Structure 1
């Protein structure tokens, strides 16, 4: 239960930081885009969209439903690659994502 609380707090902080950086979108991607079978939906979504519309809701649903969380989890390398050369300072967001990864590895 302690891990779930830590994970949920990190998910909320990631959400807040994305909003603060103006990386949060209000328009839901199409069902086809969300149905991608590629890792991170990389063929249909940006990494930010994947975080917002796939990862954050799914992880929150697992925690709220009392379902088991993934045993292995690593998204930091993709986040780092996606935001390489970003105009905005995403360093705090990357730190939060690294902390999220550390809860599973």
Structure 2
């Protein structure tokens, strides 16, 4: 399986986890100026959910569609852990697992082995 195929699976899992936890539907599209942020995860202009839905997922999908190189590093899951710490376990854990998959695909080029999940 290619890195792009693995990332497609990881992003699909992330979106599904966000939908299941009502984190996808509840995201209001940010004001256009919010996209000008220079902070990691646009923390000064967006919620993590907005950043995932309107920045990360579309940006990575565009890179794949245009067959561009993917970022070589990622550290999304640890940041999400802080943001989601107050969320219900049933919402938090699937999203974090999906983000760990995204991180792993970007860093190592493949999904994590099933026994690690």
Structure 1 and Structure 2 fold alike (TM over 0.5): yes
**Structure 2 residue aligned with 1:92:** 94
Distance 1:97 1:26 in 2: 18
1:56 aligns with 2:71: no
Any conservation in 1 of the 2:74–2:103 contact (CA below 8 Å)? yes
Q: Which runs of 5+ in 2 are unaligned?
A: 108-117
Any conservation in 2 of the 1:21–1:88 contact (CA below 8 Å)? no
Q: Which has the higher helix share?
A: 2
Bigger RCO (CA 8 Å, 6+ sep): 2
Instruction: Describe how 1:1-105 pairs up with structure 2 within 5 A.
Output: 2-24=2-24, 25=26, 27-87=28-88, 89=90, 90-105=92-107
TM-score, reference length from structure 1: 0.92
TM-score, reference length from structure 2: 0.83
Aligned residues: CA RMSD? 1.5
The alignment covers a number of residue pairs equal to 105
Moved segments of 4+, more than 2 Å:
none
Q: Which runs of 5+ in 1 are unaligned?
A: none
